[in-house]
Structure 1
Amino acid sequence: MKSRLLQLSIFLFIAFLFYPGCNLIKSIAPDDELPVKKTENRYYNYIEAYLNIKKNNLDKAIYHLNKTIKDDPENLYLQRELALLYLLQKDSLTALNIVENIIDKNPRDIDSLIMYGRIKQSLKQIDDAKEAYENVIAFDPSQKEIYLVLGDIYMAEGKLGKALKIYKQLVNKYPEFYAGHFFIGKIYAEQDKIVDAEIEFNKALDLEPGLEEARFELIKLYKSLGEDQKVINIYEEILRRNSNNIRAALELGLLYYKDGMIKDSDKLLEDLAAKSLSDSEVIRKVAELYLDEKKYDDAVIILEGMLKNSSYSSDLHYAAGIAYDGIKDKEMTTTHLKQVKPGSKFYQNAAIRISLLYRDEGKIGEAINFLENVIENIPDKPEPMLYLGSFYEEKEEFNKAEKVFKKALIIDPNNIELHFRLGVVYDKLDKKEAAIESMKTVINLDPHNANALNYVGYIYAELGINLDEAERLIKEALKYSPDDGYITDSLGWVYYKKGLYKDALKLLKKAADLVPDDPTIFEHLGDAYLKMNDKKKALMFYERSLLKREKDKADIEKKILELK
């Protein structure tokens, strides 16, 4: 059974999307109700407007509706319909101008005030929207939905007192309207007025017994008071009314477990596991309520319970792997993720996560072997190849990395990350021209890719060629990543190569502030200080560079030796 408040919210959304009336869009009024004077020309333009709306030709619809309004300029209905068409074209300002003109002449026109408020809301001009809605309620207290809209705005702003006033006005006018009592209850709950909140939620349920949201709010209240039995009773009531309420089943199964009611918990979770085989909403709810909220311990309890009699479910194993990963249990993470079968939509993600776990443990060889087997199972997927190539990079097996990246690019020729990694590998293989071409491909695919722009510029600087172009590219990269220390270092290095040592030094010092432990930046600083004849500082930065290096120490050691 669908939630009543959800249905109400959908209704309000649709009403506000197409409000007011919209007979022009939905249907043509009969002759005797047509809101224009009955002349053949006016009727023709009105019909043309309608037909063009049906064809989604809004420009022509607006043209014909304007012609109709020209013949009947005092017709507010047509003017509102014209404003609505502009809204459908996402031209809020023109629509707003039309509605403002209506309100200037007819300040108590309710339909126009509501449309004005909606437009102002869409433009984030909330104070104007609130004023409009307040006027609607003052001029026509029967506008039930506007109380809800205005109350919701005040609640979103944290102005609970004003929201409460609006909702109380609503229930005074419509004492049998369940939504008013529900939202009053929510405000009381936020104000820690537990008894008052409980009364209002129960009033809402008396008026609308199928209102699940009110029961979940009562559950929150009773949980805060530690009244587990009341909580259990409400969960059971929800499930009696709607056995398909996955949230209630998950939460009750967890509560049963924590209260030591293991058999009851197992029964609920086993039923959910069976349901998950044909209904993806079960896994989605687990993700939404527990994984996304980082409630990993609770997720582990729920998923292990579900897996007791559904150990073959790849989806459940994947979710369990994510939960165990969240509590840093690498062994159980790997155990569950390995149970995800190749046919599962989660197989690729599970495989990549396992490979990264191996890599993090220093088992790069196992990561490579594992991914090679995975690629045999899903040979048409480039993502595992991206990781495999990256692992080969880490092992400095650049030729193998190149081969893997090229194979992946046959499958996905516009993959930006693959082109970038291939360019890096070419650079490490000292294939500078190929590296530049790969990075240019990245830039063609993504002109704002700061890393690729920087990479080409830095290669030019290292080679001492195209220095003006190098400067242009790196400055462009800094537009998109202004606080990137590595890109700042690149620009400093271009200036160094141009002989602009003072400018270079300024940028290299900034780069070292942004990235305080990079050996290459330290070496560049040493080079710049040396050109400025400050041998003491040059030596200091060369020594810092040496301390940070794990390999390629010969050149820096030579520079240090020459200064000593």
Structure 2
Amino acid sequence: MFILTSFNACLMVLLLCYVFYRLIKAKKAVMLVSFTIQLCALTIVVLSLANDVKISNSIELFYIVFGIIIPACFIIWDYRLILNSRRVAEGHADYITVKNEIIPQDENSLPEASCMGTSEISQRVMDVLENEDFVDDTITEINLLKDDLFFGIKKKLIKAENRYSQGNFDFAYDIYKGMLDITQTTGNLYFNYGNVCFKKGMYKEAISCYRKVLELDRLFEKKHLIYVNLGITYFNMEKTELALDNFFKALEINPECSTAKEGIGRIYTTTGREADAIMYYEDLLKNDNSNYELSLSLGKLLVELGYIDEAKVRFETCIKHKPGQAEAYILLGKLFMTVGQYSEATKVFKTYITTNNADYIGHYNLAECYFQNKEYKNAITEYMQTINYNPNSHESLYKLGLIYDETEEPEKAIDCFRAVIQIKRDFIDAYNNLGIVLAKSQRHVEALASYTEGIKQSPDNFRLYFNMGVVLFELKRYEDSSDAFARAVELNPADRDVYYYLGASLTELKQYDEAIKAYGRALDDRMQEGELYYNIAAVYALMKKQDIALDNLKKAVSKDSDIKREITRNSVFDYMRTNSDFIELVS
């Protein structure tokens, strides 16, 4: 009897351990109840064994039923449930529902990158057009499929479209490719697959996809988009004649397609037919002078060709017809800034802000005008407005830091540069300027920390090593400073200033030969300062090479006669003061 009871106890312990494990994993009330009853039954068995007590049949039946039989049935049921859930998960693993969190971009706003120069904006590479109704159009083609497959495919299409919009072209590529392995009769699917191939730089594959859509044109209503994208793809492949042919085909189907018109103008421009491009745009504008896109494209072309006044007229026309659109204001304002007419640029951005006050781009560019004119008070106000509408405007914070440094408000400058780093960790200029302001405030240790952190972000930035070397030199850590300057020289051998400081560090380390080499590298035909020759002379004087030192002193004085005062005060030259040439030089 003892052996049988012991066996039951061991079996109950195993069952209790499994139920406890499932209780921890699933956290269900039924498991907690089962665990409690099992624990009670096990306690009875253990106590009976420990005290050698003979238990009644009813109690024995209780612990067998609730401690062994019911838990065993529960384990079998739980195991079957796990197997079924895994089969379901494997059968539907591809149909994961995702939350669509894409934030639509306001068509009247531009990214902060619109602060780029006018020439950069006007030379923007053409990009393929999107079919805004891609998902719905594709679903229409396959709406005869069974409901479960239909909803699964729709989820995958939405997921692919979301990732495509976020720039994850590899993910979208894999989904479209997999779906085309299932069905090859959906023109919309081929169209977006072609767009993904274009984004990945696979131009030949993109062409094949667009051609396939043309074969399936009965299922694709927006045929002009195919020809536009074919034209754009050929344009990026530098096959201008094929591109031109497809743009004209697009216009035959949809004469109002502004992208095709812009493409034709761009081809004329890139093939050296600027006059044809201008005539083409002007002919189109004769029939539609209020066309915003055409006027904007012509304005960009005129900027590229250097026709500033004509470009201004075009941008002003765009603003007249669509005063709510940002791009024409930005281009016109930047055009004025390019030619140094900051007051005119200020007027443009002020006008834009009156109708689009909440658009931070207008405030940012207005602040830039004030900054260039050194109207720092107004610039601060507009940069603050920019940050109010766009708290992540690291460029505004950076410019505020520059202003506060210029107006000798170091604490505010430090706060701004640190805020920039918090927003954009790889903004290297913020590390550099933070270190400079800290060093000027005699906070050398913090300055070194800033440069060190910047080097972690950009190990090949020579300016960080140079500025670090200057701080180390001021701390009289000459060996460390020479190492920093040497690293800066490796990264940018063309910078003459680094050699000068490297020479100074090596001089302090009494490595005179190396110092002379460094100073020699700092000299070139354009150098007009006598200070370098003066320092070289000091090094040779320390080496007791009087003739060479005297020769360099003469060169220094010939460049800058005020150096004579430095020569008379510097004890390095004391042993030369009895030399007649030296006396004549400093007299």
TM-score (norm 2): 0.48
Q: Greater RCO between the two (CA within 8 Å, min separation 6)?
A: 2
Q: Normalising by structure 1, report the TM-score.
A: 0.49
Greater gyration radius: 2
